[in-house]
Chains A and B, each alone.
Chain A
Amino acid sequence: MSKRARNDSEGRHAERSLLTLLLAVIDAGRWLAPPSRRREWRRQWRADIWHESRWLDREAPGIGPRATLVRRTAGALRHAFWLRLHVRSLEMITHDLRYGWRMMLRKPGFTAAAVLTLGLGIGANVTMFSWVDAMLRRQLNGVPGFSSSPRLRCR
């Protein structure tokens, strides 16, 4: 095998090793992405890295473009973190709601007691403040000088 052919073969081998390594980084990093976006994130990054690597094979020899590809692959992890921070909030709300609903169904006695307590508490408060409003505050509206009294005026 001539020296040039051997160099080409070694170059292709290094290229394939780099691609394998970068795809392995994406496979490992997919756990950083939120579950709802994980599959798409991995698919998109694997495809973009694969195409870029092939393009570099054909068009851009040298170490510089490969270093750029490695840097860009590292950005995939930042993208996954970003998704985790921005997609997580909505997922967490739906997760909490689903969990709460399951717990309510699993313990109906506790659910009934909680609903009854809340209902009685809200009902008692509404009744009490309605009575105070009707019997005291509205009746005072007829008293002369009430609205201008500095001691009773609402600020």
Chain B
Amino acid sequence: MRKPAPLAFGHVSILHAIADGSRFGFDIMDATGFTSGTVYPALDKLESLGYVTSKWEDPRRARRDKRPPRRYFDLTDAGASALAAALTRYKNLKPVSLAAWRVRPSEG
């Protein structure tokens, strides 16, 4: 079986935010700092890859609270494995000196 391609940084950030407790689009935007035009397509993509699953809130409960039901996202086992693999990949990056580029501390 073909090994799945490594996830892009944006997708890893979104999986990380979901694993950290963010469950819906606006929450994930707040956690990652990405725009809605990035987060929502990425959630659809991750769901099609099987890394994320979504569930609509019980409409009866929402109706009782007089509000529209929300769509909640959660990690799947495959998503958790992909996130763990990506975090290991980033952890293995060796530190490099950026002195030649005169990086200011706030940017570093």
Contacts and interface: CB of A to CB of B under 8 A. Distances in A.
A128 B83 CA distance: 58
A47 B68 contact: yes
A82 B35 CA distance: 14
Interface string A54-88: 10000000000000000111111111001100100
A48 B70 contact: yes
A50 B36 contact: no
Contacts, number: 62
Given A72-B26, A72-B29, A83-B44, A43 B35 contact: no
Q: Is the interface of B mostly helix, strand, loop or mixed?
A: helix
Interface residues of A, number: 22
B71 interface: yes
A46 B68 contact: yes
28 contacts: A43-B68, A43-B71, A44-B25, A46-B68, A47-B67, A47-B69, A47-B71, A48-B26, A48-B70, A50-B68, A51-B67, A51-B70, A52-B26, A54-B67, A71-B35, A72-B26, A72-B36, A74-B37, A75-B36, A77-B37, A78-B36, A79-B37, A79-B41, A82-B37, A82-B41, A82-B44, A83-B44, A86-B44
Interface of A: 40, 43-44, 46-48, 50-52, 54, 71-79, 82-83, 86
